[in-house]
Chains A and B, each alone.
Chain A
Amino acid sequence: QKEVEQDPGPLSVPEGAIVSLNCTYSNSAFQYFMWYRQYSRKGPELLMYTYSSGNKEDGRFTAQVDKSSKYISLFIRDSQPSDSATYLCAMSGTGRRALTFGSGTRLQVQP
């Protein structure tokens, strides 16, 4: 079993929809949770960062962490075609020496 599980998609939604992306994990030592966005033929770019449990909002993006359930989510409101990309969750423990990534979910927002 992988340490971090992420549905690979692809997830196809119409423009303006609310998108929910999720990851589950098994390592209770993870404290830092991130979402990266990766466009085709590009490197991942950091989108959201959350420490421990709770919510964090940045514009149309909201990250949620539920450590009791070992479950993290990224919500995208009013999705745009420019949001079409692969979204990778990542997490690390208190030592923060390495990131463990999910396999990524490919999102397509149809105009």
Chain B
Amino acid sequence: EAQVTQNPRYLITVTGKKLTVTCSQNMNHEYMSWYRQDPGLGLRQIYYSMNVEVTDKGDVPEGYKVSRKEKRNFPLILESPSPNQTSLYFCASSTSGRTDTQYFGPGTRLTVL
């Protein structure tokens, strides 16, 4: 089954404790992206990657890091999480020529205390 998977699905942590949210896709997509979803603000892009070793900032990259060492994986790293990063996070992927038709993962609900 073609899908985007994220882990963990739920995470409660404390300020300053480094964490990683993993994202993996099995569709051989070149393009991958991370979004956060907050009430009243919709989905906002954090980082995206056009292909392996190629990443770029989205609209709200502050406080986040990403890496793309393999085509299928695109982890999101919070080096020092803060309460304002409490949000619902989605990973998405698509073929490089169709970034407009992205497939989304199930989401990771992160709470930073």
Binding site for B on A (CB under 8 A): 4, 6, 8, 32, 34, 36, 41-46, 49, 88, 90, 92, 96-99, 101-104
Cβ contacts A to B, 24 pairs, < 8 Å? A6-B42, A8-B40, A34-B100, A34-B101, A36-B104, A41-B107, A42-B107, A43-B90, A43-B92, A43-B106, A43-B107, A44-B90, A49-B101, A90-B100, A96-B99, A96-B100, A98-B59, A98-B99, A99-B99, A99-B100, A101-B44, A103-B40, A103-B41, A104-B42
B102 at the interface (CB under 8 A from A): yes
B101, A97: Cβ atoms under 8 Å? no
Inter-chain CA distance A8–B92, complex, in Å, is 23
Tell which of A32, A45, A102, A104 touches B104, judged by Cβ atoms closer than 8 Å: A45
Please, which residues of chain B bring their CB within 8 A of the CB of A90?
A: 43, 100
Q: Which of B48, B104, B105, B106 contacts A97 (CB 8 A)?
A: B48
**Given contact pairs A97-B99, A98-B59, a sample of 19 additional A-B residue pairs in the complex whose CB atoms are under 8 Å apart:** A6-B42, A34-B100, A41-B107, A44-B43, A44-B104, A45-B104, A46-B101, A46-B103, A49-B101, A90-B43, A92-B99, A92-B100, A96-B100, A97-B56, A98-B99, A99-B99, A101-B44, A103-B41, A103-B42
